[in-house]
Amino acid sequence: MSAGESSSDAAFSLEDWYANVAPLTETQRLSVSRISAWTSRPIEKEDAIEPNPPKDTWTIANRMESLAEDVDSMDAKLYDSRIQTVENMVGKLDELLQLVEAAQTDLGQLQDALSFVEGHARDFLAKANTMLTDQHQVDVLREEVALRLSYFSVLPQATALASMSTSNVLDEPAFLDTLKRLELALQFMNTHKNYIDAHLYQMRLAHCVVRILEMIRTQFTKQGALRTEAAIAQLQEANQTRDYSSDTGRLTLDSSLITEALFDSFRADQQKLRPYFAQIESMGPTVKIASPAAASELEKEFEECRKTLVRWRKVLSGEFLQMYLSDHSLRINNDKQYDLKTAVLDASMLAQGLAFREVFFYHKYFRISQSKNDSECNAALVDLLYAFGADFGKFIAPFLPKDAQLADLIDMTDCVRQGTKIAKADIVSAEDMAEGFDTAQYYTIAVSWSEPVLNELGSRIVSSAQSVITRDIIQFTPSHEDLMYPACLYDNREELFEEQRALVHSTKSKVLQHTKRNSVIGVGLLESLVSKDPADTSMFSRPSESVFASWYKPIRTALDLLATLHTRIPLTFLVELGMRIIQSAQDAVAHGASLLLQGKFGSEDGGVGAVDGYLFELRHLFVLRELYYSVEIAYRGTKDGDHHRNIPYDTRPSSSPGQAFGVRMPDVSLVLDTIHSVWGSTRLLSRSEPQSSSSTQGSKETNQATPSVMHSTYTQLQARIEETKEKVIGLAASTFALPLQIFVAQTEKENVQTIAPTKALAAWSTFQQGLEVNSVNLQEKLPMYISDEATIQEVVDGTVAKIIATFNVYKANVLEGVSRCNPSEVPKELSSLVPSSDLHELLKRRLLPASDLMRNTS
């Protein structure tokens, strides 16, 4: 690259200098331009520089010598010319050097000026940033001040809107925006109470909201009344013009005319009013903080709006429902093929569909609360649904006479409940579903229309059940077939043992897997709840057919009656009736046991004995105690607050525990908890507290609220079980130890010193013979009546203990008496009576059931 090209590339234009370095005056620009032009011009040359100049001394000397020879040989004129040219160039170089020195001086001055400018520019930039920050703060402050001023300035605007005529106030585009600004202003005043007159502004803003709601209510009432009047006329016209002779002429919710009259004609008003109601409803808590008095007025206005809407719906939808039910009544009376159950089912389905749509209709005006603590919010809606239930009750009343049978009342209840199972997708329109409404919650509320009907039916069911209890349990007169014990147990003992064995293994797989217990509790009623498929399990379910058939008839009646009642009456009624059923069945069992004890009933082959009566009673007392546990589980498994209501619905899935759509399914955790507590007691005759910490706490809290009738029933039942157990033990011990007891009684009357060895030996021989005969009888009967090994063990232990006590007295008297007799006169058997421990083991081997039978239950 040549020197000219290098200078050209390094040229710095004036525009670049002016733009990037500093502004110049005109004189400075000219000076810079001259310097730039001079430094940028190409250097002219006459002789090219040798490409490779000499580098060493000898070469340079040769070069210089060559140049000297050239000069010597050069023409004088040419030499002078060149000398002159060189002198001229040197002169020009001197001038240029002066210019360069002047330029350096100017550049130094420019550099100083540039430093000065840069220093001041940095100061200016810092001040500019400070001013920009201050300006931003001022802007923020201005906005905050403007916002706060808007909170105060909204009051005159809202007051002006509230003073307008109500005919067109809702058409004002700024009306809804003003409401939102009122809410913001109230929220601000509630959180910034340190402003002067903030409390006064709170009151004025809150009362302004109330005034606006009054205006909305006025227009809502006026428009709604007109809409309702027109809809009633449209509904009556549709009813008068329909064809009564055809199925298509019947009133249904699927009819476009009915749907238009009941719901669609109100859609425009709903879309217009709903935003205002929703906005003011959301302002309720804010208004309450600002002014409790204004909040109370606001709630009264809302309540009036809700009641007004419900009043219209009672007239309109109630008119439609009455038309439908009247049509149904005529059809039932005129069409013999249209039975009552089908009619009630159809009517229930329509009432459910109407109620569900009414819930959606209500929500398009007002909020529906999901909180139990805010039940007043839904009170008007529930009142409307209860009105539907009252009309439905009037519809079915003529078809149920006062002396209706329990089965008819049950069928009617089931039909009403079945009708409430109508699918939600069949009721809700696609448009409503798209709005994202909580269909499960609304379905739960809609079903409450049936509560008055079911409560009335439940009351009549309770009354009818009282008659059944009196007739079939309290006044039950047994036949010989009803008390064919123990034959009815002997005939099916293998089947009973097999079913109980399978049941205990199924139960042990779910609770107390490591327990040493090997037999079922009582007759396995509780275990039957957890041994089946959970989806098919329900409270008061029957055990196996062989076990169920082995029960006394009043006990079977008690179980079937509770199974029938527990899903169809309020829980408080179920508890009262359940306790009465258990108490009545307990008396019936005691009566049956007394008949067996008297020998008037029982097996025709003479197999019945005195102990059969007590074992019969003990067996059925265990069943009644498990029935009590089932009632307790139903009571404990119901949510708080549902005990006094007949609620036929629940939003939980059908597989969940508790009350699910009218079927109180057993809470498996409570069932297992109960079985755990009974099994954990190691014997059936008593019940221990559950061991699970969480379950125990819940049980204790629930037991505190258990009705007193349940506590007294359980106390009486448990006392009767203990009393009967002692009677079994006492009777069995007396049967075996009677010869020894007679001998002891005689020796107490006579002098022990004069005892006759022959009498003592006769008593001992008779005891041994009786043990051989009677032990087989008791050994077979115990597992027939009592299926629990631990309980059998307890009965045998008690019996053996009483026998040993009698034997010890007998032995002491004999040893004292024979000690004073001639040894030759004393029989060998008396001189070496068996030790008590050996007799104890012998009695247990003889009295405990046969090992083969007991193993079948393991």
What residues are paired with 663 via a beta bridge?
660
Task: Dump pLDDT digits (tens) for 533-552.
Answer: 655 566 788 888 888 888 99
Between 158 and 851, the more confident residue is: 158
Q: Are 450 and 344 in contact (CB under 8 A)?
A: no
- Two tokens at 18? 């002016």
φ, ψ for residue 537 (rounded to 5)?
-85, 140
Average pLDDT over residues 452-467: 91
Q: Is 641 left (phi over 0), alpha (psi -120 to 50) or beta?
A: left
Compute CA distances 773 → 317, 736, 766, 778, 838, whole Å.
81, 10, 11, 9, 19
Task: Dump pLDDT digits (tens) for 548-607.
Answer: 888 999 999 999 999 888 888 888 888 999 999 999 999 999 999 999 888 777 666 555
Write down the residue that tokens 């957890």 correspond to: 530
Contact partners, residue 360, CB within 8 Å, separation at least 6: 428, 432, 437, 442
- Two tokens at 396? 């079915």
Q: Does residue 659 sit in helix, strand or coil?
A: strand
User: End-to-end distance of the chain based on CA atoms, in angstroms?
Assistant: 112
Compute CA distances 321 → 242, 345, 365, 424, whole Å.
16, 15, 22, 20
Task: Dump pLDDT digits (tens) for 90-144.
Answer: 999 999 999 999 999 999 999 998 999 988 899 899 999 999 999 999 988 888 8
Task: Dump pLDDT digits (tens) for 146-178.
Answer: 777 777 777 777 777 777 765 666 777 777 887
Calpha distance 581→628 (Å, rounded) = 10
pLDDT given for residue 646 in this prediction? 42
Calpha distance 287→292 (Å, rounded) = 7
Calculate the CA dihedral of residues 393, 399, 404, 405 and round it to 10 degrees: -100
Contact partners, residue 725, CB within 8 Å, separation at least 6: 618, 685, 794, 795, 798
- Identify the CA nearest to 494 among candidates 172, 804, 236, 853: 853
Calpha distance 658→101 (Å, rounded) = 107
Calpha distance 581→187 (Å, rounded) = 61
Task: Dump pLDDT digits (tens) for 382-415.
Answer: 899 999 999 999 998 888 888 888 888 999 898 8
Compute CA distances 101 → 31, 88, 108, 110, 407, whole Å.
13, 20, 11, 14, 129
Residues of 762-779 as b/e, b for ≥16 C-beta within 10 angstroms? ebbeebeebbeebbebbb
- The distance between the two most distant Cα atoms of the chain, rounded to a whole number of Å, is 193
Q: How confident is the model at residue 22 (pLDDT cuts 50, 70, 90)?
A: low
Q: Say which range, 73-77, 120-124, 232-236, 470-474, has the weakest mean pLDDT.
A: 73-77
**Cα 825–830–832 angle (5° rounding)?**
120
Task: Dump pLDDT digits (tens) for 552-568.
Answer: 999 999 999 998 888 88
Q: Say which range, 195-199, 528-532, 753-757, has the weakest mean pLDDT.
A: 528-532
**Cα 392–395–401 angle (5° rounding)?**
120
pLDDT given for residue 6 in this prediction? 43
Average pLDDT over residues 256-277: 85
β-bridge pairing 658-660 and 663-665: antiparallel
Calpha distance 659→116 (Å, rounded) = 91
Query: What is the chain's alpha carbon radius of gyration, rounded to the nearest angstrom?
Result: 54
Sign of CA dihedral 402, 407, 409, 411: negative
Residues of 172-183 as b/e, b for ≥16 C-beta within 10 angstroms? eeebeebbebbb
Calpha distance 162→158 (Å, rounded) = 6
Mean residue pLDDT across the chain: 77
Calpha distance 340→349 (Å, rounded) = 14
Hey, which of 25-34, 619-628, 702-711 has the most confident mean pLDDT?
619-628
pLDDT given for residue 647 in this prediction? 42
- Identify the CA nearest to 562 among candidates 585, 533, 589, 590: 585
Asked whether residue 723 carries a pLDDT value surpassing 50, the answer given is: yes
**Cα 675–677–683 angle (5° rounding)?**
90
Question: Which residue stretches of 242-291 are H helix?
Answer: 256-262, 267-282, 284-290
Q: Are 235 and 263 in contact (CB under 8 A)?
A: no
Calpha distance 5→1 (Å, rounded) = 6
- Identify the CA nearest to 627 among candidates 702, 707, 698, 539: 539
Asked whether residue 530 carries a pLDDT value surpassing 60, the answer given is: yes
pLDDT given for residue 360 in this prediction? 86
Q: What is the DSSP string of 83-128?
A: HHHHHHHHHHHHHHHHHHHHHHHHHHHHHHHHHHHHHHHHHHHHHH
Calpha distance 68→66 (Å, rounded) = 5
- Two tokens at 556? 């079977």
- Identify the CA nearest to 619 among candidates 720, 505, 471: 720
Write down the residue that tokens 């004292």 correspond to: 816
Task: Dump pLDDT digits (tens) for 767-785.
Answer: 888 888 888 888 888 888 8
pLDDT given for residue 131 in this prediction? 92
Between 851 and 185, the more confident residue is: 185
Question: Which residue stretches of 420-450 are H helix?
Answer: 430-434, 439-446
Sign of CA dihedral 261, 311, 274, 441: negative
Calpha distance 550→559 (Å, rounded) = 13
pLDDT given for residue 440 in this prediction? 73
Asked whether residue 246 carries a pLDDT value surpassing 60, the answer given is: no
- What stretches of 518-588 adopt beta strand conformation (E)? none
pLDDT given for residue 98 in this prediction? 92
Q: What is the DSSP string of 734-796?
A: HHHHHHHHHHHHHHHHS-GGG--HHHHHHHHHHHHHHHHHHHHHHHHHHHHH---HHHHHHHH
* Interaxial angle between packed helices 340-363 and 292-334, expressed in degrees from 0 to 180 and rounded to the nearest 10: 160
Among residues of the chain, what percentage have pLDDT more than 70?
A: 75
- Predicted TM-score (pTM) of this structure: 0.70
Residue 828 identity: K
Q: Are 742 and 632 in contact (CB under 8 A)?
A: no
CA 468 remoteness from chain centre: 37
Asked whether residue 804 carries a pLDDT value surpassing 80, the answer given is: yes
pLDDT given for residue 831 in this prediction? 63
Q: Does residue 660 sit in helix, strand or coil?
A: strand
Q: Are 571 and 642 in contact (CB under 8 A)?
A: yes
Residue 476: half-sphere exposure toward Cβ, Cα within 13 Å = 27
Q: How confident is the model at residue 657 (pLDDT cuts 50, 70, 90)?
A: very low
Average pLDDT over residues 315-344: 84
Residue 494 identity: E
Q: How confident is the model at residue 8 (pLDDT cuts 50, 70, 90)?
A: very low
